Amino acid sequence: MYLEIANLLRRCASEVNPFTPAMLGAFFGLPERHFSQESANGPVLFHQAGSIQPVAYVLRGTIFWPDNRRIVRGYPRILPSSDYTPERFAITEERHVFMAVREGEAVVERKEGGVTIRLYHHGDYFYCATNDVYDGGNPLVGAGIENVRSLGIDYGAQAGRLLESAYKGAMNLASIGYVPVFEMLLPELETAVPAHRPDMILIDVIEPDFTFADRLEKERIAEDYGLKVVASEGRLQGLATEGAFFKRLRGLEHEATRQGIAGFVVKGRVGDSDQVFLKTEPASVREHSPALPQSDLWAVYETIAEEFAAEPLTDPLFVEELMLDYIGDHSRSVRWQVQDFLAANPAGERAEPG
């Protein structure tokens, strides 16, 4: 079903009325608790929060606006090859990428290390959405001077300033119903490969029918609207055996190490299916993990407590996965830090201010 997510979203737009967490959960066959809504008239946002159902990976971050039943497609979670994760979705996605390469071709693009931002237009406003917040808000903003990871950066506001100053054409694109997807690079972010200067790199374009534009169309759009498109590093095609396919993936990993970059993303399609993804990263990127102060962890927890009903928050595993989603890091070290935080604060009450 997840390979036909664009068709599913089109059906949702025409069949589901009204957009409520309960109605959306029933339509997608997912628990209602994965859909958050801060106010009755506000947007509904889908959070993967540890769900291993295939549709949850590609639905992650999808925004549903009840007022005009507008859907802003989410950006799928891109997983590494099965050498580095046992997740069934990753193994299945990897197989689809291999089929795309065997039957046609797949594009290899440079992986940028930053924050994924989707620009969209709704009502009279432009929004810069992250994967977990519809307007790009950052729960770490205002967490305090101990915040060494984000330095109080409001992702949405910063992305808006960068687009307004350097890439105004993005607003024109969004105003006609497209959703350009950027990787926001900031030297202030603690990433495995630091950015040299702030920038917005176009990594994908979601068309009004919820499909991803192919590489040629993306390049045309970037040229027409004055955007900087992610670098293409070639194509994979004609690899008829699994051995040849995985040899090329390992080659990409070594090439990323040699260049000192964050890695590569392979994008392809199986027939007329939705775009499928796979990433290859150097060991230094896979092993990178920030140390989060307690102020950061409290800020994320309190954001979740404000946005979700009390009942889902009684499930510590669900809360753990939500926190990882909001932090934007699912590495072992960060998961251990979140687990320790929840174990020390089972009731979600601060022992002392700050």
Residue 145 burial (10 A CB sphere; 0-12, 13-18, 19+):
exposed
What residue ranges do the domains of the chain occupy? Answer: 2-72, 88-110+233-286, 115-225, 294-344
Report whether pLDDT(348) > 70: no
Give the tens place of pLDDT for each residue, 288-345.
888 888 888 999 999 999 888 787 788 999 999 999 999 988 888 999 999 999 999 8
User: Is residue 352 pLDDT above 50, yes or no?
Assistant: no
Question: Which CATH fold would you assign to the domain 88-110+233-286?
Answer: Dna Ligase; domain 1 (3.30.1490)
- Average pLDDT (83-107) is 90
> What stretch of H or E contains 336?
helix 332-344
- Distance in angstroms (rounded) separating the CA atoms of residues 224 and 319: 43
pLDDT at 147: 46
- Band the pLDDT of 279: cuts 50, 70, 90: very high
Give the mean pLDDT of the chain: 90
CA distances from 192 to 229, 255, 353 (A): 21, 16, 32
Q: Measuring CA to CA, which residue among 254, 227, 236 is closest to residue 97?
A: 236
What fold characterizes domain 115-225? D-amino Acid Aminotransferase; Chain A, domain 1 (3.30.470)
pTM: 0.92
Q: How confident is the model at residue 143 (pLDDT cuts 50, 70, 90)?
A: low
Sorted by sequence, the CB contacts under 8 Å of residue 343 that are 6+ apart come out as none
Residue 186: is its pLDDT beyond 70? yes
Residue 259 reports pLDDT greater than 50: yes
Kindly report which listed range (32-41, 121-130, 139-148, 338-347) carries the lowest average pLDDT score. 139-148
**Stretch 163-189: mean pLDDT:** 96
Kindly list the strands in the beta sheet with 179-185, ordered across the sheet, starting from the edge strand earlier in the chain.
125-129, 115-122, 179-185, 199-206
Question: What's the pLDDT score for residue 271?
Answer: 78
Residue range 204-245, pLDDT digits in tens: 999 999 999 999 999 999 999 999 999 999 999 988 899 999
How many CB atoms lie under 10 A from the CB of residue 242? Answer: 12
pLDDT of 175 over the 80 cut: yes
> So what's the pLDDT on residue 139?
86
